[in-house]
């Protein structure tokens, strides 16, 4: 999608610090980290919100969680643990309209959902 910031990251039109990439998924460091480790995991395909994941794209959600598993081991956060958050819509504060999963780690995140 032309004016989507995360599509531009997928295409390399704007820079990012990628930590993982495969045929379907890209993961990169959040520009404004909320924890010592804050990664965004996205499908390469533009899907605006979680409500717009169609049946034929549902495998992408599985691919994203497989990628998260790989990333957790690669970044050595598999033992101490991490939190995954996906915002959807106005009340969640979703800012970027291309679905993304936040992976937060690197400290005890406490019992607040957003860390
Ligand atoms: P959300 O509020 O769930 O839509 O989260 C959007 C996230 O994208 C925020 O945590 C931003 O810091 C992050 N973000 C926005 N632009 C960029 C960028 N160019 N590179 C990396 N992260 C970004
Ligand atoms: Zn997009």
* Average pLDDT along the chain: 96
CB neighbour class for 95 (10 Å; exposed up to 12, middle 13-18, buried from 19): exposed
Residue 114 is predicted with a pLDDT of 57
Ligand that lies nearest to the alpha carbon of residue 9, given by its number in the listed order: 1
Residue 104 near residue 82, CB atoms below 8 Å: yes
Give the model confidence (pLDDT) of 46-56 as tens digits: 999 999 999 99
How far is 111 from 63, CA to CA, in rounded Å? 28
How far is 104 from 87, CA to CA, in rounded Å? 14
* Ligand 1 pocket residue status of 110, Cβ below 6 Å: no
- Residue 58 C-alpha to ligand 1 middle, in angstroms? 23
Residue 115 is predicted with a pLDDT of 46
Residue 56 is predicted with a pLDDT of 97
Answer yes or no: 38 catalytic.
no
Phi-psi region of 110 (alpha: psi -120 to 50; beta: other; left: phi over 0): left
Which of 6, 95, 102, 104 most suits a substitution to test ligand 1, by most atoms within 8 Å of the C-beta?
A: 95
Domains, in order of start, for the chain:
5-105 (3.30.428.10)
Give the model confidence (pLDDT) of 31-46 as tens digits: 999 999 999 999 999 9
Give the pLDDT of the chain (115 residues) as one tens digit per residue.
889 999 999 999 999 999 999 999 999 999 999 999 999 999 999 999 999 999 999 999 999 999 999 999 999 999 999 999 999 999 999 999 999 999 999 999 988 765 4
């Amino acid at each position: 999608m032309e004016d989507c910031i995360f599509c531009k990251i997928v295409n390399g039109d704007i820079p990012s610090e990628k930590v993982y990439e495969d045929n379907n998924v890209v993961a990169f460091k959040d520009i404004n980290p909320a924890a010592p480790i804050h990664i965004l995991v996205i499908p390469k395909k533009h899907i605006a919100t979680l409500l717009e994941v169609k049946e034929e794209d549902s495998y992408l959600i599985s691919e994203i969680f497989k990628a998260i598993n790989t990333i957790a081991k690669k970044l050595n956060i598999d033992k101490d643990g991490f939190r995954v958050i996906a915002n959807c819509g106005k009340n969640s504060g979703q800012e970027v309209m291309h679905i993304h999963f936040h992976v937060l780690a690197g400290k005890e995140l406490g019992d607040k959902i957003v860390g």
